[in-house]
Amino acid sequence: MSETQLPEIILQKIQEGHIAYNSILVNNHFEYMFMDIDCSNLPEPRWNESASFEQVKPLLSKLPANNRPCLYYFEIVEPLKTDIILQAYKSFQANENLKHRASAVLKKNPPLETNTLYVGKIQKHIKGRVQVHLAYYNNGGTAGLQLACWASQIGLKLKLHVYSFEPNMYSFITPLELPFAQSKNPLIGKH
């Protein structure tokens, strides 16, 4: 290989990007779905029991297939003041009895004029990721919103929006997450 040629790996990624571009924009190969989540209806999690997954199985069954990469966000539906949401979330994070539940990070200066709670991506297993966000995943070490631990107490109403792509988009989800998150300006999360 000469220094005037692109390395094979770069050419390969450009080709993969071209295929993904055609899949999405030309052939319209993506799915969009949403679901409403009334956090006041979330049952108290029963961790360390096999029943934990069963508690949210009907909700998770509405999500796309687990082999698909996804971008998603939680929209705040009812106009609760963001300071109430932040206070409830901070109280959950400070609760010594719930320290075993890893939570999504809070920004130093959260945007108080937003209707987006959180933005994320997953390369596979969207159902498991949402299970973590709802707080029904038995392993508390996986970070997420843990909604059943705090949002039910303030009656938070959300709409989960999911954009699901063909499996060939797997390596492109991560670079898409940052501009997507910046456009949504979420209250909670690293973006």
Domain ranges of the chain: 30-184
Q: Find residue 120's DSSP bridge partners.
A: 72
- From residue 154, how far is each of 75, 82, 102, 157 by CA, in Å? 16, 11, 20, 9
- Per-residue pLDDT, averaged over 162-179, amounts to 85
What pLDDT is attached to residue 63?
A: 86
Q: Is the pLDDT of residue 133 over 90?
A: yes
Look at residue 140 in the predicted model and tell me its pLDDT: 76
Average pLDDT over residues 133-162: 90
pLDDT band at 25 (very low <50, low <70, confident <90, very high): low
C-alpha R_g of the chain = 18
Q: For residue 66, name the pLDDT band (cuts at 50, 70, 90).
A: confident
pLDDT band at 99 (very low <50, low <70, confident <90, very high): confident
The whole-model pTM stands at 0.86
Q: What is the pLDDT of residue 137?
A: 81
Report residue 188's pLDDT band, with 50, 70 and 90 as the boundaries: very high
